[in-house]
Amino acid sequence: MKLMVIDGNSILNRAFYGVRPLSTRDGTPTNAVYGFLTILQKLVGEEEPDALCVCFDLKAPTFRHLAYEGYKAQRKPMPEDLVVQVPLLKEVLDAMNIPRYELEGWEADDLIGTISKLDTAAGWETVIVTGDKDSLQLITQTARVKLVTTRMGQTATRDMTPETFRAEYGFDPIHIIDLKALMGDASDNIPGVKGVGEKTAMDLIQRYQSVEAIYADLEAVEAKPAVLKKLGEGREQARMSYELATIRCDAPVRFTPEEALRRPVNEPVLYELFLRLEFAKLIDKLGLKGNQGLAHAEKAEAPQVQAELITDPAALAGLLEEWKGAERVFLQALPSLDGVCVLQGERMSAVFAERVGAGPYRDFLKTFFSGAVRKVSHDGKDLMHQLLGEGLTAEGFVFDTALAAYLLAPTDGSYAMDKLAISYFNTELPSRKDWAEPEAWGPLADPAPALAALSAWTGMVAALYEALSPKLEELGMHELYYQVDLPLCPVLARMERAGMLVDRRALAAFGEMLDGRIEADVRIIYELAGEEFNINSTQQLGRVLFEQLGLPPVKKTKTGYSTNVEVLEKLRGKHPIIDVIMDYRQLAKLKSTYVDGLTKVIADDGRIHTSFQNTVTATGRLSSTEPNLQNIPVRTELGAELRKMFVAPAGYKLVDADYSQIELRLLAHISGDKAMQEAFLTGEDIHTATAAQVLGIPPEQVTHAQRSAAKAVNFGIVYGISAFSLSEDIHVSVAEARDYIERYLGHYAGVRDYRKRVVEQARQDGYVSTLMGRRRWLPELKSSNFNLRAFGERVALNMPIQGTAADLIKLAMIRVDDRLRREGLAARLILQVHDELIVECPDAEVERVKALLTEEMEGVAALSVPMKADSAAGQSWAEAKE
């Protein structure tokens, strides 16, 4: 039988610093609790213990504090955001029926030691889980320590047994007490022997095993005179430190392993608690269900109305007339579009094709999804895409609850309605499959449960609208929502339906060429290595490079030598095989990711139809998926060849318009820097101007390398680049990079002041925003973790600029689409890639479309510097870019 005993404070602390800040809607911090539970699930899955318990420290002084006033005296108090999570975790553990132990005057380590001893006496195996090395002294043949580390949300564990401990330390686990008695422990403020460091202490314990043996005959100890003198003077300190470092195994705690046997969780209580903490994913993962009908809405009650089935076409026509006159109706459609549920006022109606007949239902859809009925829906863009595919209009969508939830919390990651129901109303919707799957409405199925589930989801659309709409107004995002994000949805749906034509033959030929070059690289690599091996295996490649060929290892991981791109870059010039391997990797990625990947997603119409995700990025940028057309490589000559595969049909051209340096222009505007603004107003090359001004030389003397360095700084400043990162980018020392940044900020004083101002304002407000009011919340700025704070500062610098650029390109897309349609042109917008728009148009419309694109993109905002968009046309994407 196996018991797992967890050091609660230690693991909670590591979870707090390892997981990004999370909080509930009312601001309660939850990242440490969430991280603890994630680690717990991982550990239980790995170990499958029969019994489980958690030990905690209490605030009261322990016998160690009474013995030595300085014990842990230097420790900073626990961050307030962590303090409030300790009782939350204990509440969760109680609901999970996991015993917890804590005792005034005793530390968790002592309770763990005592429980481990009692567990061993009962003939059980013990696994001690902790993030601190203090518990290593408890390792025995029946008790091992599992050391836990967390870094950027990733948890790693390391098992320490008597064998692994001796291999690492050179003595038995119990003697780690002796080690600490000599060297001390800064984290607990255990003094040790003054002047004896870790290296000396390790050597002494490895040779003499214990402090007792050392002091039994100090004169016989082989050590430098200075060390012997320190040991003599520190005898009492060593004795006291030994006592402080020793984990007591006789704490007065009542425990038997059977008390900690794993039991089922208290499901209703845990469910309610997870609802309160907004742990929707954990509810799903654990399959938790609450008491039936339990709901605690915070802002508005979800309508509890059962939909009526409409079977009479005449009644349906009457309903349509009512809905046309309504200020808004709330909609939930079946994925198949064979049915819809509509809430208007206090009446909810479900309409199904099989109930009213295919003809009347089709006529109903045409009217309902025109602009005649003002509809509130969830994930409206996807529904619009589906409607267009059915040859129906997709108009009259006046609010999208998913989009509103995204604007209010852009880093949440998921805006599924069942998750939002938990976040905003502390209630759980019926499973989506209860109403969305075809079998729910099959001829053999009872429609009542499906209808009840569908009614609940439709009612939640209304509840979310009531909760979210005023919040957009309150936070100043009303204009952004109604002028940018919402009207962009039909534009994106049309772009997705249009897709982009691909020259399948050219793509296949490109793939064959890559295959030939890959095969040639493989032969050369084998020849240079002197053997055949799996080039894609990190272990085999590492063995060849660092053992067979004798190259100097740059970095080692737990699994062996690292051979990532950073390592290979540092090995350039040391052996000809390196360049060939890097070429092989580039070719293999182009072939597998792009040639093979794109070929698989060419539709029957010969076009690739990407999906534009508008609720994913925290900055408001659109992302492209399945496939990602925003990630087509362009920085290498060979990668850029892929753009040749995207073409216009015969008699058509692709018109490409791209903003010129939009983020730098926004930096000049937002920062108010006069020198940068002047460069843009006079039409100078900003990178040459920057190099000239920072280096103090005439523009005509700026070299290509100096311009490249200035360009790296210009764009790096937007992203809060560090001296180290800049040094890597422009291949100079960190000191030179730091000097360049300082001179840059010395010249562009407005940018320097903006950087300070925006971070300080974000720290006060808790968020940053774009010119149009899009917000990014930044709890990281108040984190006690340096890395998280630094991340928050970089985001504060970048988001107002990158987010404003995203807002402007979205607004440009809306205006371009409107102009094309309003002026009756056959041209259509088909792709957006960051700051670039691509329109497919007949040859006869090319010049008109180029002018239209430039006009709308440049006129989208009035800034203190001119917006500039360049447009060109070609038969392929590559030709249009040239």
Whether 167 shows a pLDDT value over 70: the answer reads yes
Arithmetic mean of pLDDT, 52-79: 82
Arithmetic mean of pLDDT, 368-376: 95
Q: Which of 60-74, 306-320, 322-336, 796-810 has the lowest mean pLDDT?
A: 60-74
| Bridge partners (DSSP) listed for residue 872 | 656
Distance (Å, rounded) from C-alpha 785 to C-alpha 793? Answer: 12
Whether 296 shows a pLDDT value over 70: the answer reads no
Structure confidence at residue 697 as a pLDDT band (50, 70, 90): confident
- Residue 673 CB coordination number (10 Å): 21
Structure confidence at residue 151 as a pLDDT band (50, 70, 90): low
Q: Which of 325-334, 360-369, 527-536, 720-729 has the lowest mean pLDDT?
A: 720-729
Q: For residue 402, how far is the Cα from the chain centroid?
A: 19
- Domain 475-502+620-671+751-779+795-882 in CATH 3.30.70.370? The answer is yes
Which CATH number, 3.40.50.300, 3.30.470.20, 3.10.20.740, 3.30.420.10, labels domain 297-473? 3.30.420.10
Q: Which of 581-595, 664-678, 740-754, 832-846 has the lowest mean pLDDT?
A: 740-754
Structure confidence at residue 299 as a pLDDT band (50, 70, 90): very low
| 3 state SS for 167-181 | HHHCCCHHHHHHHHH
pLDDT tens-digit series, residues 389-407: 999 999 999 999 999 999 9
Q: Which range is most confident: 270-279, 360-369, 416-425? A: 360-369
Distance (Å, rounded) from C-alpha 408 to C-alpha 119? Answer: 51
Residue-level pLDDT at 292: 40
Please report how many Cα atoms fall inside a 13 Å half-sphere around the Cα of residue 396, on the Cβ side.
23
Arithmetic mean of pLDDT, 524-542: 94
Written as six digits, the tokens of 846 are 């090319």
Angle at 447 between CA 443 and CA 453, to 5 degrees: 140
Percentage of residues of the chain with pLDDT beyond 70: 98
Percentage of residues of the chain with pLDDT beyond 90: 55
Whether 334 shows a pLDDT value over 90: the answer reads yes
Structure confidence at residue 303 as a pLDDT band (50, 70, 90): low
Distance (Å, rounded) from C-alpha 787 to C-alpha 336? Answer: 47
Averaged confidence pLDDT in the chain:
89
Indicate the domain borders of the chain: 2-260, 297-473, 475-502+620-671+751-779+795-882, 506-601, 674-747
Contact 657, 837 (CB under 8 A): yes
- Residue 822 CB coordination number (10 Å): 8
Structure confidence at residue 369 as a pLDDT band (50, 70, 90): very high
pLDDT tens-digit series, residues 707-749: 888 888 888 877 778 888 888 778 888 898 888 888 888 888 9
Say if strands 100-101 and 51-55 run parallel, antiparallel, or are unpaired: parallel
Residue-level pLDDT at 283: 87
Arithmetic mean of pLDDT, 799-813: 96
DSSP 265: -
Coil, strand or helix at 657: strand
Arithmetic mean of pLDDT, 280-302: 61
Distance (Å, rounded) from C-alpha 4 to C-alpha 153? Answer: 23
Residue-level pLDDT at 558: 62
pLDDT tens-digit series, residues 196-253: 888 888 888 888 888 888 887 777 778 788 878 888 887 888 888 888 888 999 899 8
Count Cβ atoms within 10 A of the Cβ of residue 637 and give its class: 0-12 exposed, 13-18 middle, 19 or more buried.
exposed
Q: Which run of H or E residues covers position 556?
A: strand 556-557
Structure confidence at residue 189 as a pLDDT band (50, 70, 90): confident
Angle at 511 between CA 506 and CA 515, to 5 degrees: 150
- Residue 512 CB coordination number (10 Å): 11
Which CATH number, 1.10.150.240, 2.40.50.140, 1.20.1060.10, 3.90.550.10, labels domain 506-601? 1.20.1060.10
Q: Which of 433, 450, 463, 493 is nearest to 330 (CA)?
A: 463
Q: For residue 230, how far is the Cα from the chain centroid?
A: 52
**Which positions ≥6 away from 411 have C-beta within 8 Å?**
618, 776, 777
Q: Which of 302, 284, 296, 273 is nearest to 28 (CA)?
A: 273
Fold designation for 2-260: Rossmann fold (3.40.50)
